[in-house]
Amino acid sequence: MKYITAFIIKLVMTTIVLWLVLTLISEVSLGSIILTSIILTIVGFIGDVFIFPRIGNVLTSILDFILIFVVLWLPGRVLFNSGQEAEAAALISATILTIGEMFLHRMMERQVLKDNISRMPSYQQNNLRMESSDEIDPKHKG
């Protein structure tokens, strides 16, 4: 149930932001907005569940920004007659949604993924190890 709640929050947030931004910049149909929101939510939620626990909030948010920008910009160049409108819509939407995603990731970390994060290997800076040896020259036999 926790996953469904997080998914619905992400879907509603994405749909509202896309509806506001895309209707202000260009006349995009509500059906296109809902379809795009569903695609972004499904792909992004899979990343949130499997990638976020491993790489953390900042890197996952950067990946979310790239995903949102690309998914909106490429089809937007076809839907809008001007590339500048598509770029503006994609950039504004990606920025707003990425800020929202950072808060969603924190909520997911505390409520949805709290058991999974402790069991997954972490690749954060505090979990790095280094191996050292006494040998300076590998050809030297001492």
């505090």: which residue's tokens? 126
Return the pLDDT at 29: 83
Residue 137 backbone class (left: φ over 0; alpha: ψ -120 to 50; beta: rest): beta
Look up residue 93 and give its two tokens: 């939407």
Which of 5-9, 46-50, 83-87, 118-122 has the lowest average pLDDT? 118-122
Q: Read off the pLDDT band of 67 (50, 70, 90).
A: very high
Percent of the chain with pLDDT strictly greater than 90: 34
Check pLDDT > 70 for residue 45.
yes
Q: Read off the pLDDT band of 7 (50, 70, 90).
A: very high
Cα–Cα dist 119/99, whole Å: 27
**Which residue would you say has higher pLDDT here, 68 or 116?**
68
Q: Give the count of alpha carbons within 13 A of 85, CB side only.
A: 15
Check pLDDT > 80 for residue 22.
yes
In this structure, the chain runs to a length of 142
Check pLDDT > 70 for residue 127.
no
Give the global pTM.
Answer: 0.74
